[in-house]
Amino acid sequence: MATQQYVEQPMDSSYFRVAGKLASLLGEQSVSNSKVALIELIKNSYDADATSVLIKFENIRSGSGKITITDNGSGMDHNKLTNDWMRIATTDKERNQYTPKKRRKIGEKGIGRFAIQKLSLKTEIVSRPEKNEEGYRLQFDWKKFEEGNTDIDKVPVPSYKFQKATNDHGLTITLDPLKEKWNEDTIKEVVRDISLIIPPQTNGMKFNVKVLAEEFPKYSGKIKSSFFKQADYTFSGKLEKNGKITYRLRSANGKSLKETDTLKEFTCGPIEFDIFFFYLGKTDYAPWHKQDRDYKSIKTMLEEFSGVKLYRDNFRVKPFGDPGNDWLGLNQDRVQNPTLYPSNNQIIGFVKISKERNPNLVDTTTREGMMGNAAYKDLVNFIKNSLKYFSIKRGELEGKRRGRPKGSKSKASKTAIKTAFGKKAAINDLIPASVAGMLPAELQTTIYEINGSNQHGFFNSCAVMMRKAIETATILKFKQEGKEDTIKVSGEYVGLGKRLELAKQNGWISTYNFKKISVIELFGDNAAHSYRIKIREDDIPDIAKPLRLALEDMQLDKKKKADSGK
């Protein structure tokens, strides 16, 4: 069949068009719920260098209520309103990442403008630009953006200008009517989230938020908290760019300590944190507790605020530390080893990072969570190991009340402190990737299983896999040297102990390391064959070190294996 030939003539180029419904899609899909949308607008006030924000709720239980957000920020002139704020996907915040007052801007994805569509059917914006004699008012009717098949740039937005005093500045957003009913529980959650939007220690930065809700007066007023003064322990830490770690721990009765060390390898960037720890009832560990201490109120507050929150450039990164979001896995770790981890419901924590100094910590596209890359794992490991260190040091400060002489350190304590300070391999990386990468493929899979078992707290499995690794390593070494027959009887390999003895006789394992390796044989065999044996986390380093030494002794790297085949 002959191919038909077409005669073409040039036409005008085609262009994409954007339907007005895009505004609704961005509002509904870019912001998960109304509370998040409101927080986005408060962040925009922060970006405008505001020092105060007033949020007024009116008639919100009716289903057609009204919310007004007023700040004293720099406002926007007509050019900024039309060319930046009303331009979708503008690069303004990427080009200008800092405000005139040197604040790091939040929300570079520019979804705050569509958060208002999530909240209300109609919106009015009144902008009073700083040092300007004119102000501007814009009115949005979001239903009009969905009528017919109108393009988004063809929907008119009524705009007005007015005269004002040059020292009058800020922005007012009126959301009226609201799309949803707001009940007392919703207001309670909003107030809670607002109270967490800025860490309690912000280096003197002024940014206050006040709520006015006549229907729910107990949630009205300036949002503040003095709760942290009741903490039994405050614990702070700092990981600097050069790897220096500084820990400070202070108890409610004034006892304190400071220690420093160095973390050699990490990809997450500098980190700071503050942890507040509370006992949930009367305890001999905290003799400074008064008899009339209000534990009920403390528990109530912890139910609202407990968990470790994450902040970037002084603003909250959701959902880290939300109710039910135990992103550090503290509750699971505490079940396995209650002496080394505090319960998630006993602490309130604030981890602080910056976008500029932590470029490898990347948000997910929904802005609620982070990509689980190596930098994120390093962040998690540092905080978890720091909390382990905190628990050990807390026990030392409490001394005799914990049943041991003051200042004594258990083996677990020493291991935990070294882990926290990074003096041994990271908790999730018993056999470093650099070592595993040098090993034959037959061993690499086993090494990855060892690291994975340790990471997830399966310590019996970890011990068994370490035994398997040393078994495989001995076989590969005898094969590499052309002596495999010496470790076989009737076609079967001799026991591991005999193989190790022969390896020592051949000079592949030193006498010192031979004795150390026997730990692997014992622990791995017990973990696999005795239901009474339970390998603890503290036992694992005693097995991991000789395994690494044995691998080094036997020189089972890829290059040696390749050379032996020549």
Give a yes or no: residue 165 inside a domain: yes
Supply the pLDDT for residue 526. Answer: 63
Give a yes or no: residue 13 inside a domain: no
Same domain as 449, residue 390: no
User: Could you give the CA distance from residue 391 to residue 416 in angstroms, rounded to a whole number?
Assistant: 9
β 244-251/256-262 pair status: antiparallel
Q: Any bridge partners for residue 347, and if so which?
A: 277
Supply the pLDDT for residue 322. Answer: 81
What string of H, E and C letters represents the secondary structure of 14-50? CCCCCECCHHHHHHHHHCCCHHHHHHHHHHHHHHCCC
Residue after which a domain boundary falls, among 362, 393, 421: 421
Same domain as 447, residue 377: no
Question: How many beta carbons lie within 10 A of that of residue 501, not counting itself?
Answer: 14
pTM here is 0.50
**Structure tokens of 164?**
């004002």
**Mean pLDDT, contiguous 10-residue spans, the chain (566 residues):** 72 66 64 82 88 93 88 93 78 69 66 76 94 94 82 87 95 93 88 67 68 92 74 92 92 86 85 91 69 68 80 85 82 69 85 90 69 83 90 77 47 46 46 70 79 75 82 86 85 83 82 70 63 71 74 61 43
Same domain as 259, residue 370: yes
Same domain as 528, residue 480: yes
Give a yes or no: residue 318 inside a domain: yes
Please report which helix (H) or strand (E) contains residue 334, including its range.
helix 330-336
Residue after which a domain boundary falls, among 421, 456, 474: 421
- Asked whether 197 and 42 are in contact (CB, 8 A), the reply is yes
Give a yes or no: residue 321 inside a domain: yes
Owning domain of residue 466: 433-564
Residue type for position 285: Y
Supply the pLDDT for residue 531. Answer: 62
**Which residues fall within 8 angstroms of residue 495, CB to CB, at 6 or more apart?**
none
Supply the pLDDT for residue 512. Answer: 67
Same domain as 246, residue 214: no
Supply the pLDDT for residue 562. Answer: 42
Question: How many beta carbons lie within 10 A of that of residue 201, not counting itself?
Answer: 14
Give a yes or no: residue 142 inside a domain: yes
Same domain as 237, residue 299: yes
**Which residues fall within 8 angstroms of residue 344, CB to CB, at 6 or more apart?**
306, 307, 308, 326, 328, 330, 331, 334
Same domain as 311, residue 412: yes
Supply the pLDDT for residue 428. Answer: 47
User: Could you give the CA distance from residue 260 to residue 393 in angstroms, rounded to a whole number?
Assistant: 13
Same domain as 389, residue 281: yes
Same domain as 231, residue 218: no
Q: Do you know the residue count of the chain?
A: 566
Query: Which phi and psi angles does 239 have, rounded to 5°?
Result: -110, 115
Give a yes or no: residue 427 inside a domain: no
How many structural domains does the chain have? Answer: 3
Same domain as 243, residue 210: no
CATH number (domain holding residue 471): 1.20.120.330
**In angstroms, how far apart are the furthest CA atoms of the chain?**
101
Supply the pLDDT for residue 363. Answer: 75
Give a yes or no: residue 10 inside a domain: no
Give a yes or no: residue 11 inside a domain: no
CATH number (domain holding residue 211): 3.30.565.10
Please report which helix (H) or strand (E) contains residue 129, including its range.
none
Same domain as 281, residue 193: no
- Asked whether 556 and 478 are in contact (CB, 8 A), the reply is no
Same domain as 439, residue 414: no
Residue after which a domain boundary falls, among 170, 191, 222: 222
